Structure 1
Amino acid sequence: MYATILQQDEQEYRELVASLLAPDSDGKDTDERWLMPRENPFFVGKLPPAGLVGDVALLKALRPYIAQHLHLATGRDTSFWRLGEGYEPFAAAFRAVSRDLKRRQKGEEVPTPPVPEIAVKGKPTFGWQELLEYWIRDCPRHPRTVREMQTLVQSLSQFLRGKLPADMSKQDVTAWLRHERDSRGNSGKTLEKKGTLMGALFSVAVKDELLPSNPFTGFDYKRLALKIGVQSESGREPFSLAQLQTLFSAEGLFAQSKGNGGGGYYARVWIPLLGLFTGARLDELGRLTVDDVQREPVPHFRIRRAKNSESLRSVPLHPQLIEHGFLDYVEAIQAAGHSRLWPLLRSRGALHTDSEMIGRWFNRYVHERLGFPRTVVFHSLRHTFKDLCRNAGIVSDVHHQLTGHASGSVGDRYGEGYSLEVLQTEISKIRLPFTVPRPEPYIPDQSAAPQRRAT
Structure 2
Amino acid sequence: MIKVPRLKLNRFGVFCLRVIYKDEHGNRKETLQSLGTKEPEIARVLALQFNLSHELQRVTAMPPTKPTLGQFAHLLEPEAKLQKYRIDIKNGIYEATDEADHLRMVQALGVIHRTPAPAPAQTTAPAIPPIQKSKKISEVIALYSEEKAKDNNKETIKDKKRTYQSLLDLFGDIEINLFTKQELVSWKSTQLKQDIKATTINSKIGELNGLFEYALNNGFYTMEKNPCEGLKIGKASKLKATYESYEPFNNDELKAIFNPLTYSKRLKKPDHYLLPLMALFTGARREELASLKAKNIKIIDDVWSIEIEEGKNENARRIVPIHSKLIELGLLEYAQSIQDKQYPYLFPHLIDGANGRGKNAGRQFSTYLREDLKIENDRKVFHSFRHTVITRLHTINSNKAHVIQLVGHEDDSVHFGTYTHDVGLKALQDTINRLEYDIDFNQLKAPLKEFERFINSWKKQEDRKLKRLINKSIK
Where 1:252 maps in the other structure, the secondary structure is helix
Distance in 2 between residues matched to 1:167 and 1:257, nearest whole Å: 47
Contact 1:128–1:153 (CA under 8 A) maintained in structure 2: no
1:334 aligns with 2:336: no
* Number of the residue aligned with 2:85: none
- 1:368 maps to a residue whose letter is E
> 5 Å matches for 1:72-87?
none
What is the root-mean-square deviation in Å for CA atoms of aligned residues?
3.8
Distance in 1 between residues matched to 2:439 and 2:260, nearest whole Å: 12
* Number of the residue aligned with 1:295: 299
* Number of the residue aligned with 1:355: 358
Distance in 2 between residues matched to 1:368 and 1:240, nearest whole Å: 18
CA apart distance, 1:415: 9.1
- The 1:135/1:342 distance shift into structure 2, 3 A limit, reads same
* Number of the residue aligned with 1:446: 453
Q: Percent identity?
A: 23
1:408-440 C-alpha deviation (Å, 9 max, x unpaired): 126556994622111111111111122223323
Where 1:426 maps in the other structure, the secondary structure is helix
Where 1:253 maps in the other structure, the secondary structure is helix
Question: TM-score, length-normalised on structure 2?
Answer: 0.57
CA apart distance, 1:129: 4.4
* Number of the residue aligned with 2:289: 285
Richer in strand (by share): 2
Equivalent residue in structure 1 for 2:404, among 394, 400, 404 = 400
1:121-164 C-alpha deviation (Å, 9 max, x unpaired): 98774554443354456577789657623432136758xxx996
Distance in 2 between residues matched to 1:301 and 1:277, nearest whole Å: 12
Distance in 1 between residues matched to 2:382 and 2:418, nearest whole Å: 32
Question: TM-score, length-normalised on structure 1?
Answer: 0.59
1:364-407 C-alpha deviation (Å, 9 max, x unpaired): 22122222122211111111111111112113322111111111
Larger radius of gyration: 1
1:223 aligns with 2:235: yes
Contact 1:188–1:231 (CA under 8 A) maintained in structure 2: no
Distance in 1 between residues matched to 2:416 and 2:158, nearest whole Å: 35
1:212-258 C-alpha deviation (Å, 9 max, x unpaired): 664557976551785xx896535422112211111111123223365
1:269 aligns with 2:276: no
CA apart distance, 1:328: 1.8
Distance in 1 between residues matched to 2:455 and 2:423, nearest whole Å: 38
* Number of the residue aligned with 1:244: 254
- The 1:307/1:322 distance shift into structure 2, 3 A limit, reads same
- 1:353 maps to a residue whose letter is G
Equivalent residue in structure 1 for 2:141, among 118, 132, 142 = 132
CA apart distance, 1:210: 2.5
> 5 Å matches for 1:126-275?
126=135, 128-135=137-144, 138=147, 145=159, 148-154=162-168, 157=171, 168=180, 175=185, 179-180=189-190, 182-211=192-221, 214=226, 216=228, 223=235, 226=238, 233=243, 235-256=245-266, 264=269, 266-275=270-279
Contact 1:299–1:317 (CA under 8 A) maintained in structure 2: yes
Contact 1:397–1:407 (CA under 8 A) maintained in structure 2: no
- The 1:195/1:220 distance shift into structure 2, 3 A limit, reads closer
Contact 1:206–1:214 (CA under 8 A) maintained in structure 2: yes
The structure showing larger relative contact order (alpha-carbon pairs under 8 Å, at least 6 residues apart) is: 1
* Number of the residue aligned with 2:97: none
CA apart distance, 1:197: 2.6
> 5 Å matches for 1:55-70?
none
CA apart distance, 1:314: 0.4
* Number of the residue aligned with 2:119: none
How many residue pairs align between the two structures? 316
CA apart distance, 1:200: 3.5
* Number of the residue aligned with 1:320: 325
- The 1:138/1:408 distance shift into structure 2, 3 A limit, reads closer
Where 1:211 maps in the other structure, the secondary structure is coil
Distance in 2 between residues matched to 1:419 and 1:193, nearest whole Å: 36
Gaps of 5+ in 2: 1-129, 458-475
Where 2:412 maps in the other structure, the secondary structure is coil
- 2:444 maps to a residue whose letter is R
Distance in 2 between residues matched to 1:135 and 1:181, nearest whole Å: 23
CA apart distance, 1:346: 2.9
